[in-house]
Structure 1
């Protein structure tokens, strides 16, 4: 009989143990999921069972705990489907396909061969489902845990990181597809007359061609409300649970219904909607239900029943799992002519199994494809292959190589042309950066060819969750940010220059910003006065810098310039005047008059004045003598050469 007081005590113990061991795992450089699963193993029959475990987590309590764990699993699989992004493989299709095929086929075949040797003892009359299931379990890769490992090392910005994510996304799809087939076979083996399974294909078509267009209507409703309302979230949850129920009723498994519902959620224009959905669900799933799933998974592991022969089976499982993954991934990468060290790093990354493997094993246990002993051994394999990823990766691909790859990736991205380049540093929220992008586009449009680089460093969220799903909120936030940056880039292109976006996570924006400026190799850097690390960027820049002061963009009058000891400020002012069609006014006597005469000889009409006209955009040389009324402060590059006035088209300015 279910006792509510014991159930509540179980929840306290489970959450406390999961949180504690998850933090300990993170402290030693491991994903928190490892600590949460270990917590379940320790609370189960392996350690506490003979004493208090049977009373706390006995047969009466398991159904309630498993129900909570299943709800957490539904939410997790929905998030996996929602985060499924085809952009991960865009531009990497052939290489990612080669790596993912090798990383899937080789361990699958080896897993099938191992299963054939174990079938007499562990298949229990369901040989076909058992053999296919073990092959699928060997070929899995934990995309969410992999994403977290890459982000923690900054490798998501590199070519290796991008290939690893792209390959893992393809492997995930292949693994879930094979698992769906296995579960279907297991269902037909277990009983007869299960005609519902024949509805699986029509159901998938219904979801993509009927439900998906209906869900797209959530986007305008969200935009009208400006937030995710309880009504909208209720629609999503009702659809999610209905889809999970439908696939469970078809004798497949509820995880596929949850995954499919996430996959058919709207993408175009729905970044903010999906981000807010993820934020709401993560609070519940990450802090309560997913740890419950991990601990319940660990409760099903009983290491006390293992014999000496079991450790021989464990050794064979590890050899097939690790050897198959490493060999298949490495060969697939080498076939695409990747260098040996990079191919090795990719193979190590794709050997990460973690959370995805636990989900697959849990399905196998629930469907009776795995017995308790083999389930325990496979969980140990999942823990060991995940735990070895970080240390092996650091040995094969140390931090200094990662730093070099990050810098090289930035150079490859930005050095496609020798055009005049303006880097504009976008503040935390790109939605507020329209005026900065306009200014950068104006400067760039005065030269041909030219381009604007929209540089953005996004800080990690304060107090971010140790997400079992890996990167759900951060990737959703980055997706939303990239959408806003691409909108800015489109506006820049509309004015003529090319535009590129460079955006990444940063643990310390002020410290990393000078490196971003250096790697972009710009001719001009544009940044706001309140930019973190501004003084260091200006001091270390080897190019011209334009500091934008508050209140600049209400200026609708002429461009006025206070010339300094060099011509940098005057050059920037001339570019702006040419690009915007505004009159150019040179301020001050002496040096100002001389500058006006020089520009006149170039065919540029200017006027002179002692004070800036009303509404003028005032450009001044940076320094102690900069006038208080300036809007843009320009500092010349270090060891500056004389200004090449002819590089700016000597069009008529004035009128």
Structure 2
């Protein structure tokens, strides 16, 4: 009972931050990230809620399944909104440099700046440099009232980058355990069965997708590869899909439960007292882990946006969209949690990259809503 009360207290802190941020004109995700980046780590370092430690808070058997459900619901909703669109050449042009420039920068950082690491850890660091968070980018674009056509282009680019990220990691990990890649891809072929059986009901397709996503997540498989492959195949077969969850119910679940749970769960993985006693990085290494991912991602995104636009001229819109594509957010936190649980990365590396991800995700909050006027004039399709 005490553990449950502590979790309610943590979720309540996020609710309070969300309410207070709304009064200041901030969207919910920005308020929650500010709490998760600055206030919550201090709380976990100086004291623990009601005298209960992080290990005890993470111990309940119901917590990990609940965490998995929260992320799966969030991912399913965002992907189902954007994946059923025809792939645009502009999205591919944006995605390739935006992914590979930071990816190779991350590999170089892992091999030359950090202590000796195995190949899987080095690849994971490169992927964390390159990742763009689909859900939070979508929320930022909504808050900026971005034109629908441009939103589709940027979201497709983000999906391609995340697909590359999770697929490369799955292949690297799959060399040790081929089933970790085979089962998600096999499950993603389910739309073929629906097509053969003549089942074209949108809610049935959406229910099957969500059920398989939840099942694979609980089993520890690569749910993003499954989700994107499933929805791409369903779109190719022209099977309608609608999740069995009302929009208002999802919004409330996301704001008040899913996002706070994912953030709190990630931060509780860190031993803050042990980290303070033995950080494990020099000042140069720590600064590199904070700065290089953002610099390389901004550069890669700017090159991609320039390639898609057909010119390398500087413009406010390119830098604004580069900042948006630098969003890390919840997807990176989940990826970090996965790497930590599998002992691919250390606690010190987990903390540094989580801090980097949170700071990068807060950068788009500096964009002004009024900048959407320029975007509308350039990208709106009548």
TM range (shorter): 0.7 to 0.9
1:373-413 Cα shifts (integer Å, max 9, x gaps): 1111111111111112232x44xxx83x6324424555xx4
1:525-579 Cα shifts (integer Å, max 9, x gaps): xxxxxxxxxxxxxxxxxxxxxxxxxxxxxxxxxxxxxxxxxxxxxxxxxxxxxxx
Shift of 1:174: 1.4
Contact residue 33 and residue 362 of structure 2 kept, 8 A? no
Return closer, same or farther for 1:263/1:242 CA change in 2, 3 Å cut-off: farther
Q: Quote the residue 1:173 is aligned against.
A: 163
Q: Distance in 1 between matches of 2:36 and 2:298?
A: 29
Superposed, which structure 2 residues align to 1:445-484 within 5 Å?
none
Which of 290, 303, 307 does residue 335 from structure 1 map onto?
A: 307
Return closer, same or farther for 1:302/1:88 CA change in 2, 3 Å cut-off: farther
RMSD: 3.6
Shift of 1:129: 0.9
Which of 288, 296, 304 does residue 257 from structure 2 map onto?
A: 288
More relative contact order, 1 or 2 (CA 8 Å, 6+ apart): 2
Specify which structure has the higher proportion of strand: 1
Q: Distance in 2 between matches of 1:19 and 1:32?
A: 9
In our comparison, the structure showing a higher alpha carbon Rg is 1
Q: Quote the residue 2:243 is aligned against.
A: 274
Return closer, same or farther for 1:75/1:218 CA change in 2, 3 Å cut-off: farther
Q: Quote the residue 1:141 is aligned against.
A: 132
Return closer, same or farther for 1:369/1:146 CA change in 2, 3 Å cut-off: same
Return closer, same or farther for 1:278/1:175 CA change in 2, 3 Å cut-off: farther
Which of 58, 80, 83 does residue 82 from structure 1 map onto?
A: 80
Contact residue 168 and residue 350 of structure 1 kept, 8 A? yes
TM-score normalised by structure 2 residue count = 0.81
1:467-495 Cα shifts (integer Å, max 9, x gaps): xxxxxxxxxxxxxxxxxxxxxxxxxxxxx
Q: Distance in 1 between matches of 2:262 and 2:302?
A: 33
Q: Per the alignment, in what secondary structure is the counterpart of residue 340 of structure 1?
A: coil
Contact residue 89 and residue 96 of structure 1 kept, 8 A? yes
Q: Quote the residue 2:67 is aligned against.
A: 69
Q: Quote the residue 1:402 is aligned against.
A: 372
Contact residue 103 and residue 139 of structure 1 kept, 8 A? yes
Specify which structure has the higher proportion of helix: 2
Contact residue 99 and residue 333 of structure 1 kept, 8 A? yes
Q: Distance in 1 between matches of 2:84 and 2:288?
A: 36
Superposed, which structure 2 residues align to 1:315-354 within 5 Å?
315-336=287-308, 337-338=310-311, 339-341=313-315, 342-354=317-329
Q: Distance in 1 between matches of 2:51 and 2:224?
A: 30
Shift of 1:334: 2.5
Q: Distance in 2 between matches of 1:115 and 1:28?
A: 40
Contact residue 54 and residue 268 of structure 2 kept, 8 A? no
Q: Distance in 1 between matches of 2:372 and 2:344?
A: 42
Q: Quote the residue 1:314 is aligned against.
A: 286
Contact residue 83 and residue 228 of structure 2 kept, 8 A? no
Shift of 1:113: 0.8
Return closer, same or farther for 1:62/1:233 CA change in 2, 3 Å cut-off: same
Which of 330, 334, 358 does residue 383 from structure 1 map onto?
A: 358
Shift of 1:172: 2.0
Point out the more displaced range, 256-265 or 371-380: 256-265
Which of 159, 178, 191 does residue 212 from structure 1 map onto?
A: 191
Shift of 1:128: 0.5
Q: Distance in 2 between matches of 1:235 and 1:409?
A: 36
Contact residue 207 and residue 244 of structure 2 kept, 8 A? no
Residue 203 (1) aligns with residue 183 (2):
yes
Q: Distance in 1 between matches of 2:323 and 2:180?
A: 35
Structure 2: runs of 5+ lacking an equivalent:
none
